Amino acid sequence: MSILIDESTRVVVQGITGSQGRFDTRYCVAYGTDVVAGVTPGRGGQDVEGVPVHNTVKAAVEASGATASVIYVPASGIKDAVLEAVDAGIGIIVALTENVPRHDAAIAVAAARAAGVWLIGFNTNGVISPGKSKLGGIGGNRADELYVPGRVGVCSRSGGMSAELSAALAAGGYGVSTCISMGGDPIVGNDMSEYARQFEADPDTDAMLFYGEPGSGLEQGLARAMRDGEITKPVVALIAGVFQENHPKGLSFGHVAAMIRAEGDSASAKRRLLAEAGARIAHRLGEIPELLDRAPVDRSRHSSP
């Protein structure tokens, strides 16, 4: 009933002794996440919230069998932190750091993908499989209230919006199988289409909800996967930032990734592409449940031979 993480996920926290690492770890442990180790060079042997701290990820993995890592490291050190986790054999990395230097992000993502590692971020607030596990700050101390277990997969370009989307689902009687804040930086580890394929393959996800913004080719990739017939479950999408099209190009709003760069990656172009591929487009949070209520759209036009 989830993708990427569940109750069996064993988590190491890189940068656990920093204030945010400590703060989030407390809520993760309280939520039930199996946090098995922390890493801060020079703090090996200490513990945080009852979690033993090691000097390296390798040592943490050897001691704890950790399979996923959450990284609280400033932008100047995030590239090395990701490379260290990849090197230590971690399978899923949640990189919360935002505004990562572009070249560092490119190197870290290339290394993770080459090793077959799933990288959530950069600029994510985490991932949650409600009732099972959460990695990162997602849900804060109110995860139970904001993320109700259910059968809709959620993938959001914005960390903060993941809570609003899930609350909107809950208000309409729906729940969440897994909710991922995929990262808002220009370079992220995995694409929307890759999350969609995961949800498609998950027997306990019936439909998916995506939140997108101007900039990037993420929605184009998702639309392609839908047109190619790879995605057959209902897709609801909320794409914000249409207002930008009334302002001169280059005027900066929101995430760096939301800078308008070309006609094809504007919010309205994304809405159009996704609608043509069979997605149901929500213009407001309140519309999401009613779009899910409708019978599955006829996709015969789009199915592959």
Q: Which residues bind another protein (CB under 8 A)?
A: 20, 23, 75-76, 98-104, 106-107, 109-111, 114, 125, 137, 140-142, 146, 156-161, 163-164, 167-168, 171, 184, 186-187, 211, 213-214, 216-217, 238, 240-244, 246-256, 258-259, 267, 283-286
CA-CA distance, 26 to 125, in Å (whole number)?
15
Instruction: Write down the catalytic residue from 54, 247, 255, 302.
Output: 255
Estimate the share of the chain in helix, then strand, then coil, as percent rounded to the nearest 5: 40, 20, 40
Phi/psi for 75 (5° steps) reads -55, -35
Q: Which lies closer to another protein via its Cβ, residue 230 or residue 245?
A: 245
Based on the residue annotation, tell me whether 255 is a catalytic residue of this protein. Answer: yes
Count of other CB atoms within 10 angstroms of residue 230: 14
Residues 192 and 212 sit within 8 Å (Cβ to Cβ): yes
Strand partners, 95: 71
CA–CA distance from 291 to each of 39, 99, 167, 236, 259 (Å)? 44, 34, 15, 7, 29
| CB of residue 151 to another protein, shortest distance in Å | 22
Positive or negative, the CA dihedral 73, 30, 192, 170 is negative
| CB of residue 45 to another protein, shortest distance in Å | 29
Q: Which lies closer to another protein via its Cβ, residue 63 or residue 253?
A: 253
Q: Which lies closer to another protein via its Cβ, residue 1 or residue 187?
A: 187
Round the CA-based radius of gyration of the chain to a whole number and report it.
19
Q: Which lies closer to another protein via its Cβ, residue 62 or residue 245?
A: 245
| CB of residue 211 to another protein, shortest distance in Å | 7
Q: Which lies closer to another protein via its Cβ, residue 142 or residue 294?
A: 142
Count of other CB atoms within 10 angstroms of residue 293: 10
| CB of residue 26 to another protein, shortest distance in Å | 12
| CB of residue 293 to another protein, shortest distance in Å | 17
Tokens 């899923």 belong to residue: 92
Q: Which lies closer to another protein via its Cβ, residue 29 or residue 111?
A: 111
For 122, left (φ over 0), alpha (ψ -120 to 50), or beta? beta
Question: Which of 22, 74, 84, 14 shows the shortest CA–CA distance to 44?
Answer: 14
CA-CA distance, 256 to 269, in Å (whole number)?
19
Tokens 């943490």 belong to residue: 60
Strand partners, 182: none
Q: Which two tokens stand for residue 127?
A: 């991932």
| CB of residue 237 to another protein, shortest distance in Å | 13
Which sequence positions are flagged as catalytic?
A: 255
